[in-house]
Amino acid sequence: MFLYKLEIQLKDQIIYLVVIAESDEKAFDYAESSVAVHFVKMPEVLESCIVEKKRLTKGSGYVIETNITD
């Protein structure tokens, strides 16, 4: 099993998703399902890509940065 960090470019924003999957193909399938459940209306997905992939072990995780400024 692997831990994936995906970057998903929507029409009006970029979102990040962390998912556990057995393969790259399954990670994209799970990402599509997660996006559909999260939003009231399924947004237009322009592009999805794997940013990082790690073997699933205790303590595995990702830092997700944002550019929020005051």
Question: Does residue 39 sit in helix, strand or coil?
Answer: coil
Would you state the torsion angle of the CA atoms of residues 31, 41, 63, 52, taken in this order, to the nearest 10 degrees?
A: 30
* pLDDT reported for residue 63: 83
* pLDDT reported for residue 70: 60
Instruction: List the pLDDT tens digit at each of the 70 positions of the chain.
Output: 999 999 999 999 999 999 999 999 999 999 999 999 999 999 999 999 999 999 999 988 888 877 766 6
